[in-house]
Structure 1
Amino acid sequence: MKRSAFLGNRQTRKSLVLALVVLGCLGGCGYLKEPVAFRAEYATLKLEAERKFPTGSSAPAFEAWFAGKSAFRLESNPPILRPSKTGGQCEARNMWLRRVEGCINIMAANYCVDEKGKIADLTFSDSSYC
């Protein structure tokens, strides 16, 4: 029986098998997968928030809505005062929504609340950590 030149010696075959196992685990464990569900959820929530909570909307209503969307985990930072785009001071706030899909995916809501409890500015960002 003649051996295939592609498989080479025994060490090469072992290395090839190990590489296939590692790649199979990475793909099967989600590490090489694009977080498709998270990206879709991020886009949907961002559009919904922009429609429901334009500038001047109630900050507590937005916070309750965002907290209701966080089935996995929700965190927020302590507020910081900064100048508002609409004039005066506002309280800068951040909230995070975390999802695990291959990596840890985070949707951040960065918003500013004026002295009347209204949203003065609202932006979203996303990031992933593997």
Structure 2
Amino acid sequence: MLNLTALSAEDAAHCPIRQVLSKVTGKWQMLILFALEDGALRFGALKRTIGDITQRVLTDNLRGLERDGYLTRTVEAGPPLAVFYTLTDIGRELMNLLKHLADWAARNHATIAARRAADGGEATGGTSS
């Protein structure tokens, strides 16, 4: 089993599972990586591809993914000025790994939804408190 125990904030700060996976396995980060799978996209195209993401949330997530090295931001002089986002090698490697998780989710969604519904929970993917 992986060592998941962090007995202090310092331990947690040095834990690769907490420090890396927590920044890339959120809904928006994964969707952004998947959207860039086939090549570079401009901000507006990314927003349209994802659909239900706000401009602010997309901007914040793109900055984080760029900061951590999963994608690059390229500005091409205009007019009009064009900003493109592209996966880096490490971003493509991560996206390929996450595709297995996405495939698993798609294969098992009906079973999971049925279990949630039988338990009185939300059947379509929301969380209950």
Question: Does TM, normalized by the shorter one, top 0.5?
Answer: no
Which of structures 1 and 2 has the larger relative contact order (alpha carbons within 8 angstroms, sep 6+)?
1
Higher helix proportion (structure 1 or 2): 2
TM-score by length of 1: 0.31
Question: Under a length normalisation based on structure 2, what TM-score does the superposition of the two structures give?
Answer: 0.31
**Structure with the larger strand share:** 1
